[in-house]
Amino acid sequence: MFCALFAPIEVRFELELELELDSGCEEMHEQMSGYKRMRREHQAHLVKLEEKCKVDMEAHKTALDKEYDTLLHNFTRELERLENKHQQDVERRLKQTSAAEKKLHKEITLKQECDRKAYDLNRKKEYKANKERWKRELSMDDTTPKRQRDLTLQSQKDNLKQHEAQEEQRMLQAQKQYIELEMRKFKRKRMIMQHEHEDVQLRDELGKKEQQLQQAHAMLVKHHEKTQELEYRQQKSVHQLREEQINKQHDTELHNQKDYMERIKKELVRKHAVELRQQPKSLKQKELLIRKQFRETCKTQTKQYKRYKAQVLQTTPKEQQKEVIKQLKEEKHRKLTLLGEQYEQSISDMFQSQSYKLDESQVIECQRTHEQLEYELEMLTAYQNKNKKQAQEQRDRERRELENRVSVRRGLLENKMDAELQQFNQERAERLRMKHDKHTKELEAFDNESISLGFSTLSLIEVSREAYPDEEGSLSGSMISLAHSNSSTSFPAGSL
């Protein structure tokens, strides 16, 4: 280093140029290492973001599945509670129907017993009155013997008792038929009410299932929209990170390229400065070389002159030799002078030509270097634009692919919901049909049984004279009116 400080100016410039070239190589190597390090960092950040998106999506799907499973579990519990409620309602109505049937049977029986007691009391009064009337009529007939009157009275008594026994048997048969008919009417009405109640329960169940199906579909649509929103948000974050990384990389490349261009221009300026400083030394060496050639030529000419002089003097008389020698010396001096002038002109021409060539070559080199650097910058810019365009096309393609996936998934979801709704409607229609067929068969079987027992369908569907319990099965307000009993008019007028 100390030696370099005291070295000639030309040597110092050469050393500075070599040091700058070495530092340029090191800087280029550092830039390449920086590019590799940047790409590794970008790739690591991108992988980290993609892993985070994947974890978030898995957690999102798990939460949605849990929410949907909870909804289905709640649906199952609601249906179980509704089924238990319906079962308890059926059992309660069966108990109420059984109690109402017993109550109706008991009240009709009590009413008929009252009718029979009233009939017995009326019969005894009528019997006593007829007996007294018959005695008065027979006592007024003095022509008929007493024995004959007694036989007549006894015969009338026997006829009256026989008629009363027949009427009593007819009343009992009528009461039996009446109570059986009323009980069949009550059972038929209760069966119809039970069928209506079962229809209401079935519609409640189907309505609950339809409501649950609508809620499940609404949740699926909501989950689809949430998933779609998360997918778009994650893709946007990934695309934004990629775009930021590309912009950062391009800015770094442009900055390094501009630094490289500035460094090349500075190195070229320094190189030209060194060439200009080294030019006098180079010209001096060439001048010395030309002068050396001139001296060697002069020596050669001198040797040739001596040989030529010796040859001429051998053939020239002595009195003429002095004059010849003088002429030869003049000729030699003239030729050497001419030769020196030629070499001096060559040196002058060399100086002028070398200076012109040096200036022209430096200008050309500057121009070529500038064109090369501009070409490299344009190539870098074109490459970056192409890279940006490809990245934008890739992002657009990924967006379209995601939109297509979301659209296909929405279409599949809508098809699934339509299929489930159609299947539910078919099942609902089938269950309603089966329930209607079951009720129709039960009612037909009951009517056929009634017909086999001797009751007509018309008599079963006519309005009953009895006050049945209300539809809720309440027995507290069910009063059986005796004024509407058929048993009170079971006997023809004047039969007693």
- Which residue type occupies 169? Q
Mean pLDDT of 348-369: 68
**Residue 259 has which token pair?**
């630094």
pLDDT band at residue 456 using 50, 70 and 90 as cut-offs = confident
**Residue 292 has which token pair?**
């050396």
Mean pLDDT of 325-343: 76
Of all residues in the chain, the percent with pLDDT exceeding 70 is 76
User: Is 21 inside any structural domain?
Assistant: no
Q: Please state the domain count of the chain.
A: 1
When mean pLDDT is compared across 235-244, 265-274, 450-459, 475-484, the lowest value belongs to 475-484
pLDDT in tens, 180-233: 888 888 888 899 999 999 999 999 999 999 999 999 999 999 999 999 999 999
- Asked whether 418 and 220 are in contact (CB, 8 A), the reply is no
**Given a cut of 90, is residue 104 above it in pLDDT?**
no
pLDDT in tens, 276-328: 665 555 556 666 776 777 778 787 877 777 777 777 777 777 777 777 777 77
- Which residue type occupies 124? K
Chain length of the chain: 496
pLDDT in tens, 30-43: 777 878 888 888 89
User: Is 409 inside any structural domain?
Assistant: yes
User: Is 415 inside any structural domain?
Assistant: yes
Query: Mean pLDDT over all residues of the chain?
Result: 79
Q: What are phi and psi of 495, to 5 degrees?
A: -70, -20
- Asked whether 178 and 487 are in contact (CB, 8 A), the reply is yes
**Residue 196 has which token pair?**
């209506």
- Asked whether 9 and 277 are in contact (CB, 8 A), the reply is yes
User: Is 126 inside any structural domain?
Assistant: yes
User: Is 496 inside any structural domain?
Assistant: no
Closest CA to 216 of 87, 79, 55: 79
Range of the domain at 322: 31-458
User: Is 133 inside any structural domain?
Assistant: yes
pLDDT in tens, 372-419: 989 999 999 999 999 999 999 999 999 999 999 999 999 999 999 999
Query: Using CA atoms, how far apart are residues 73 and 212, in angstroms rounded to an integer?
Result: 11
User: Is 274 inside any structural domain?
Assistant: yes
User: Is 313 inside any structural domain?
Assistant: yes
Half-sphere exposure of 288 (CA within 13 A, CB side): 6
**Residue 298 has which token pair?**
């002069």
**Given a cut of 60, is residue 55 above it in pLDDT?**
yes
